[in-house]
Amino acid sequence: MARRPGLRRVVLVGGGVVVAAFLAIQLVPYGWSHPNPPVVRDAPWPDEESAAIARTSCYDCHSNETDWPAYSYVAPMSWLVRSDVEEGRDELNLSDWDADADEADDAAEEVEEGSMPPSQYTRIHRDARLTDDERATLVAALEQMAGDDG
Ligand code: HEC
């Protein structure tokens, strides 16, 4: 008659499977590289304040000056960060203004609505949260840049 495995054994085997799976996903290459290509032309922020707000709240995903956090080297977080940065740069790259100036209007809208920066990001990066004043400053700057460049 087969004996039911003891709890100790279940925990050991279960724990081993979790550790093995964690190690195995580290072998997936996606997320290994953390590219910061050269800045082509930085967005022409009208003043220091709006530039500083954007650098804190947008540049990790929307520029070539991403500050890759330690957890971005560990799967599965590395996959999420990599895909956010890839998609973010694709939509709006503040380091390549000549290519993306026409996005300024859209960016002002996203910020005004509160869709950007994304809440899953500001939950971890609390300094990237926008106060009402910061939001207004950033929206005004983006609108001005849309008028100048777009
Ligand atoms: C955590 C990364 C992250 C941060 C920080 C972030 N974004 Fe985004 N942004 C994304 C991703 C990913 C997309 C594409 C998917 C989407 O639209 O949600 C995006 C899309 C956009 C788009 C295009 C939206 C559309 O659908 O047309 C604009 C404009 C934008 N972001 C502006 C900003 C601005 C301005 C900030 C700073 C206030 C900011 N984002 C902060 C990740 C980010």
With CA atoms as reference, report the closest residue to 150 among 103, 89, 85, 112: 103
pLDDT top residue among 140 and 2: 140
pLDDT of 150? 46
Q: How is residue 94 annotated by DSSP?
A: T
**Domain annotation covers residue 2:** no
- What is the atom index within ligand 1 of the atom nearest the CA of 128? 5
Burial of 114 (0-12, 13-18, 19+ CB in 10 A): exposed
Ligand 1 pocket residues where CB is under 6 Å? 57-58, 60-62, 84, 87-88, 91-92, 103, 106-107, 110-111, 116-118, 121
pLDDT tens readout for residues 49-99 = 999 999 999 999 999 999 999 999 999 999 999 999 999 999 999 999 999
Q: Give 37's DSSP letter.
A: P
**What is the average pLDDT score of the chain?**
95
* Residue-wise burial string across 1-10, b where 16 or more C-beta atoms lie within 10 A, e elsewhere: eeeeeeeeee
Closest residue to atom 30 of ligand 1, CA basis: 107
> Distance from first CA to last CA of the chain, Å, rounded?
78
Q: Higher-confidence residue: 5 or 114? A: 114
Q: Which of 61, 67, 89, 119 to mutate to test the pocket of ligand 1 (most atoms within 8 A of CB)?
A: 61
Residue nearest to atom 40 of ligand 1 (CA): 116
Strand, coil or helix: 78:
helix
* Residue 64 falls inside a structural domain: yes
Is 67 inside a domain boundary?
yes
In a domain, 93, yes or no: yes
**109 occurs within a structural domain:** yes
Please tell me the predicted confidence (pLDDT) of residue 56: 98
Q: Are 43 and 148 in contact (CB under 8 A)?
A: no
**Total number of domains constituting the chain:** 1
Amino acid at 108: A
* Domain hosting residue 16, numbered range: 7-149
At 5, is the pLDDT very low, low, confident or very high (cuts 50, 70, 90)?
A: confident
